[in-house]
Amino acid sequence: MSITQKVLFFLLTITLHTNPSFSATETFVFGGCSKLKYAPGSPYENNVNSILTSLVNSAMLTSFNNFTIQGSTQQDTIYGLFQCRGDLNNGDCARCVARAVSQVGTLCVDSCGGALQLEGCFIKYDNATFLGVEDKTVVVSKCGPLIGYDSDALTRRDAVLGFLGASSSDGSYRPYRVGGSGNIQAVAQCVGDLSPSECQDCLSDAIGRLKTNCGAAAWGDLFLAKCYARYSEGGSHSHGDKDNNSNDNEIEKTLAILIGLIAAVALLIVFLSFLRKVCEKGKDGK
C-alpha cells in the first residue's frame, strides 16, 4: 500500500497562494506522514537517516533520483526519491531538497514514511514500495477567486492547459512542461519514476480535473500523488497588484472617514463658537 493510501495528510494551510510567483522554491505546499511508527534507535531509523542523506547528496548532481536501502527484513527496507522543479539549477535544487528533508524530519518524527512538497521540490520515502507506481490520488486541489474571465481569456487558459496536456509531437518525453498565453501562465510536472505513458496519463488527468474544478478562477492548483498542474493569471498566485489596490482602497476609505470626522468636529467647533457669541450678544443687549 502506497504512502498516499495510508498517509495522514496534515495539509498545513497551503501557503503557495501568497507566493510572488511560480519561481519560489522553499515555500511549503503539502506534507504527510505514514501512521506506522518505528522504534527510536532501531535499524529502520538508521535506514531513514541514510536515505534522507542520500536524497540531499544526490540533489547536488541531478534533479531526480530514487533509492532503495535494503534492510535485514522486508519491513526494514526503505524506498525514497526526490525531484526538483524542472527549471531549477543544481544549487537551487540541492537547497530545496535539504530544506524539504529538514521539514519532513520535524513533521514526520518516527514515521515509517513521509512525503513533502515544497514549491521547488518533492521528497518521499516509505517502507512500502511506490517507485514506478502511478498514483493519481488527489493531494491538493485549490482554486483562486472567480474573476469572471471573458471568453477570450478562458479560451487562452484552456489552450495553455491543452498544450501542457498534449503528447509531444516528436515523441520526446516531457515530464516538466510550461506554457503561457498573454497573462496566463501554467506549469505541469510528473515525478520522474513514471514511464512516459504513465506521466502522460497522470498529467492529462490532473489538467482535466483542474479545468473542471477551478472553472473561471484566477488561479488553480491540482496536485496528484505523482504529478501536478497549475495555472495563474500573470504567473502569480498572490496577485500583488490587485491586493495592493485593494489595500490602497481600504486606506483611502479610512482616510476619507477620518477626514470627514475631522471636518465634522471642526464644523461643530465653529457652530459652538458662533452660538456662544450669539448668547454673549444677547446678554449684552439685556
Which of 7, 263, 16 lies closest to 138 in space, CA to CA?
7
What's the rounded Cα separation, in Å, for the pair 166 and 189? 13
Residue type, 144: G
Please give the pLDDT value at position 253.
42
Which candidate, 92, 114, 82, 100, places its Cα nearest to that of 28? 100
pLDDT at 7: 36
HSE-CB at 73 with a 13 A cutoff on CA atoms is 5
pLDDT at position 203, please? 96
pLDDT in 10s for each residue of the chain, 286 residues? 444 433 333 333 222 333 334 457 889 999 999 999 999 999 999 999 999 999 999 999 999 999 999 998 888 999 999 999 999 999 999 999 999 999 999 999 999 999 999 999 999 999 999 999 999 999 999 999 887 666 787 888 899 999 998 887 777 788 999 999 888 899 999 999 999 999 999 999 999 999 999 988 989 999 999 999 999 986 555 433 333 333 333 434 434 454 555 656 666 676 677 677 666 666 665 5
Q: For helices 90-107 and 43-59, what crossing angle results, to 10°?
A: 160
What is the residue extent of each domain of the chain? Answer: 3-126, 138-233, 241-286
Q: Do domains 3-126 and 138-233 have the same CATH topology?
A: yes
- CATH of 138-233 among 3.30.430.20, 3.40.50.2000, 3.40.50.300, 3.40.50.2300: 3.30.430.20
Residue entry with cell 498514483: 135
Set of cell numbers at residue 199 = 506521466
SS3 sequence of the chain: CCHHHHEEECCCCCCHHHCCCCCCCCCEEEEEEECCECCCCCHHHHHHHHHHHHHHHHHCCCCEEEEEECCCCHHHCEEEEEEECCCCCHHHHHHHHHHHHHHHHHHCCCECCEEEEECCEEEEEECCCCCCCCCCCEEEEEECCECCCCHHHHHHHHHHHHHHHCCCCCCCCCCEEEEEECCEEEEEEECCCCCHHHHHHHHHHHHHHHHHHHCCECEEEEEECCEEEEEEECCCCCCHHHHHHHHHHHHHHHHHHHHHHHHHHHHHHHHHHHHHHHHHHHHHHC
Would you tell me which CATH number, out of the four given (3.30.430.20, 3.30.70.270, 3.10.20.90, 3.40.50.2300), belongs to the domain 3-126? 3.30.430.20
Supply the pLDDT for residue 11: 33
